[in-house]
Amino acid sequence: MDNLHTEINRRPYIRRTEKELSEEAVAMWKKHLERDDSRIVDLFSGQLRSSLHCSVCSHYSNTFDVFCDLSLPIPKRSSAGEVSLRECLDLFSQEEKLDKENSPMCERCNRRTECTKRLSIQRFPQVIVIHLNRFTTARWSISKSTVYVSFPLTNLDLGHYGPADCGPVLYDLYAICNHAGTVNMGHYTACCSDDDGWCFYNDSSVTPVSENQLQTNQAYVLFYQRSNSAATVRK
């Protein structure tokens, strides 16, 4: 009956406009601030949009979730080459096919259907924390990827992953958290920039470091600060 109804439904499906969706996102954000409002939210919180497209009835549904970091997959390479941060971002925002078992309920079909899912950034935070997901869990084990991921120190443009008309959204790197070692035994260090340049923090030792030493295959979490238009902190 569900299938028959879907096929002969008299109500046409109307896709909501970008303007309606962005109004909904703003309303959701305001609701979030009613419960959670701190300096941390001002600086680090953004909004992620998940768009689902049902393959049966073509219904689009959108959900908005607050995020404090982006966890990016690292593309798998057959040869041990390097990948770029952009390739990780592309993989993160790439349309993904979900089969029935893994998809949420379609609002219109009222059942689980095959669908496609796409993630994008609806609201950009002042500071974006990018987690390079080096650890992958297989059935019985966890493994660590030590692939070299290149990333820009300045002018990382995330506009491509935002709303259609958002234009360039630029970020500059100000800190890196590194993970050395293996799954079982690791050690964290950090690189942070201040007015005098970059420093390397390793337990109790702090040493100056040059820009060309920042990119290593141990880079694990990247901290980028918005460099253009700060007007979006609280709207």
List residues binding Zn ion (CB under 5 A): 54, 56-57, 59, 106, 108-109
* Min dist. Cβ of residue 80 to Zn ion (A): 43
* Min dist. Cβ of residue 195 to Zn ion (A): 55
Q: Which residues of 175-208 are buried (b: 16+ CB within 10 A; e: fewer)?
A: bbbbbeeeeeeeeebbbebeeeebebbeeeeeee
* Min dist. Cβ of residue 7 to Zn ion (A): 11
Nearer to Zn ion, 60 or 148 (CB): 60
Nearer to Zn ion, 106 or 170 (CB): 106
With a CB cutoff of 8 Å and minimum separation 6, the contacts of 186 are 179, 180
Nearer to Zn ion, 97 or 131 (CB): 97
* Min dist. Cβ of residue 209 to Zn ion (A): 53
3-state helix, strand, coil in the chain (%, to 5): 20, 40, 40
**For 4, phi and psi rounded to 5 degrees?**
-60, -45
Instruction: Enter the tokens of residue 41.
Output: 């939210």
* Min dist. Cβ of residue 56 to Zn ion (A): 5
Distance, C-alpha 9 to centroid of its chain: 36
Instruction: Enter the tokens of residue 122.
Output: 């609806």
Nearer to Zn ion, 116 or 232 (CB): 116
Tokens 């569900």 locate to 2
Nearer to Zn ion, 7 or 165 (CB): 7
